[in-house]
Amino acid sequence: MHLACPVLPPRCFLSRIPSILAIIIVFIHQSPLDIVRPIGFVGLASNKKIIQKKMRTPTTLRTFRVVQRRGFATTPRRLESYGFIGLGQMGYQMAKNLRAKLSPADEIRIFDINKTAVANLAKEMGQSQVSGAKVAVVETARDAAIEADTVITVLPEPSHVKAVYASILADLPARERIFIDCSTIDPSSSREVAASVAAAAPRSSSGRQSVFVDAPMSGGVVGATAGTLTFMLGCDAGRLPAVEPTLLRMGRRVLHCGPQGTGLSAKLANNYLLAVNNIATAEAMNLGMRWGLDPKVLAGVINVSTGRCWPSEVNNPVAGVVEGSPAGRDYNGGFGIGLMRKDLGLAVVAAQEAGARLELAGKATEVYAAAEAEESCKGRDFSVVYRYLGGKE
CA distance 185 to 264: 7
- 81-260 to CATH, choices 3.40.50.720, 3.40.1010.10, 3.30.70.1380, 3.90.1150.10: 3.40.50.720
The pLDDT tens digits of the residues spanning 129-163 come to 788 999 999 999 999 999 999 999 999 999 999 99
CB burial readout 235-254, b (16+ within 10 A) else e = beeebeeebbebbebbbeeb
The closest alpha carbon to 232, from 273, 260, 194, belongs to: 260
The pLDDT tens digits of the residues spanning 196-208 come to 999 886 665 565 7
Say if residue 40's pLDDT is above 50.
Answer: no
- In the set 123, 134, 267, 378, the catalytic residue is 267
Confidence of residue 127 (pLDDT cuts 50, 70, 90): confident
The pLDDT tens digits of the residues spanning 213-250 come to 999 999 988 899 999 999 999 999 999 999 999 999 99
Q: Establish whether 267 is a catalytic residue.
A: yes
* DSSP-assigned beta bridge partners for residue 233: 256
- Read off the DSSP letter of residue 336: B
Model pTM? Answer: 0.77
CA distance 111 to 109: 7
Which CATH code for domain 268-388?
Answer: 1.10.1040.10
Say if residue 84's pLDDT is above 90.
Answer: yes
Query: How do the domains of the chain map onto residue ranges?
Result: 10-71, 81-260, 268-388
What residue spans of 227-261 are helical by DSSP H? 240-248
High-pLDDT (> 90) share of the chain, %: 72
Q: What pLDDT score was predicted for residue 1?
A: 45
Say if residue 385's pLDDT is above 50.
Answer: yes
